[in-house]
């Protein structure tokens, strides 16, 4: 049975899109997740929403208990995760307000718990294709049909945060062929892969980081303003995509 976890980023922590919504408090072997789970249905599909940074956005990126979050969704039976996240654009064509569905990541974090297999037998999880290509295809199809500007099959680099990049770092990340930058996709995506959950990121471009000489360097206020402005587009995307997931023959490698 398909169950879908939605991990909300800034401005999308708890969208009012669920029928018969209720809250479920859970504990995990890794501690408490970032928030209670909000459970309900969309078009008959069971949905669990988790606020990555807490309901009131009080958890810093480096303090997010990613293992507890993914474990909690897996324990509820989630087979798929749609994860909303704010990103800075490292490419001219990815304008603020555009959506990005990455298919690759670069891990530039330093102090996060990145695996469930730190104890016991050694496990080496394949990570060549960390994001579910079928979810990317469905999201792209829905975005195109809704007229939402998007870019698929791009690379996201995740940094530790909570500070933003220096100009030198921003230019370096561009030279590494990264297309967008954020503070949350890693280790969320690789933990989901370890739990054999199909995962796709719905990344909202909020700014041009600080590499773009003609644009103002990113600020937190800028990120929040763009996220709030575009949250409706992401909600419309979720509502259009989720029913299709149940009909799609998902052959994503596990």
Helices 220-245 and 133-146 sit at what angle, rounded to 10 degrees? 100
Domain holding 17: CATH number?
3.40.50.1580
* Residues annotated as catalytic (active site), given as ranges: 207, 209
Cβ–Cβ under 8 Å, residues 66 and 112: yes
Q: Is residue 79 part of a domain?
A: yes
Q: What distance in Å separates the CA atoms of residue 48 and residue 78, rounded to the nearest whole number?
A: 8
Helices 66-75 and 185-194 sit at what angle, rounded to 10 degrees? 40
Q: What distance in Å separates the CA atoms of residue 89 and residue 227, rounded to the nearest whole number?
A: 14
Q: Is residue 93 part of a domain?
A: yes
Q: Residue 54: which domain range? A: 3-115+127-245
Q: Is residue 191 part of a domain?
A: yes
Q: Is residue 120 part of a domain?
A: no
Q: Which residue has the tokens 């398909």?
A: 2
What pLDDT, on the 0 to 100 scale, is given for residue 212?
84
Q: What distance in Å separates the CA atoms of residue 7 and residue 188, rounded to the nearest whole number?
A: 10
Query: Per-residue confidence of the chain (254 residues) as pLDDT tens digits?
Result: 899 999 986 555 556 788 888 999 999 999 999 999 999 999 999 999 999 999 888 899 999 999 999 999 999 999 999 999 999 999 999 999 999 999 999 999 999 999 999 988 889 999 999 999 999 999 999 999 999 999 999 999 999 999 999 999 999 999 999 999 999 999 999 999 999 999 999 999 988 988 887 767 767 677 777 667 778 899 999 999 999 998 766 666 54
How would you class 197 by CB atoms within 10 Å of its CB: exposed for 0-12, middle for 13-18, buried for 19 or more? buried
Give me the number of domains the chain comprises: 1
């Amino acid at each position: 049975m398909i169950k879908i976890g939605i991990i909300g980023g800034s401005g999308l922590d708890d969208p009012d899109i669920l029928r018969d919504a209720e809250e479920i408090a859970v504990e995990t072997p890794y501690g408490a997740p970032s928030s209670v789970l909000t459970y309900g249905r969309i078009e008959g599909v069971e949905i669990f929403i988790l606020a990555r940074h807490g309901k009131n956005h009080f958890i810093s990126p480096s303090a997010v208990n990613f293992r507890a979050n993914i474990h909690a969704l897996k324990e509820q039976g989630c087979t798929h995760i749609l994860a909303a996240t704010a990103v800075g654009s490292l490419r001219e064509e990815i304008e603020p307000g555009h959506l990005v569905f990455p298919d690759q990541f670069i891990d530039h974090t330093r102090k996060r718990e990145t695996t469930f297999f730190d104890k016991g037998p050694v496990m080496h999880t394949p990570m060549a294709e960390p994001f579910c290509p079928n979810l990317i295809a469905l999201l792209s199809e829905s975005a195109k049909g809704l007229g939402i500007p998007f870019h698929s099959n791009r690379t996201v680099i995740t940094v530790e945060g909570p500070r933003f990049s220096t100009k030198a770092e921003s230019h370096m990340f561009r030279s590494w062929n990264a297309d967008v930058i954020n503070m949350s996709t890693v280790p969320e995506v690789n933990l989901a892969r370890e739990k054999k959950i199909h995962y796709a990121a719905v990344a909202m471009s909020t700014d041009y980081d600080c590499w773009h000489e003609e644009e103002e360097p990113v600020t937190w206020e800028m990120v929040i303003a763009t996220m709030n402005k575009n949250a409706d587009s992401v909600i419309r995307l979720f509502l259009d995509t989720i029913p299709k997931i149940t009909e799609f023959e998902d052959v994503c490698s596990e």
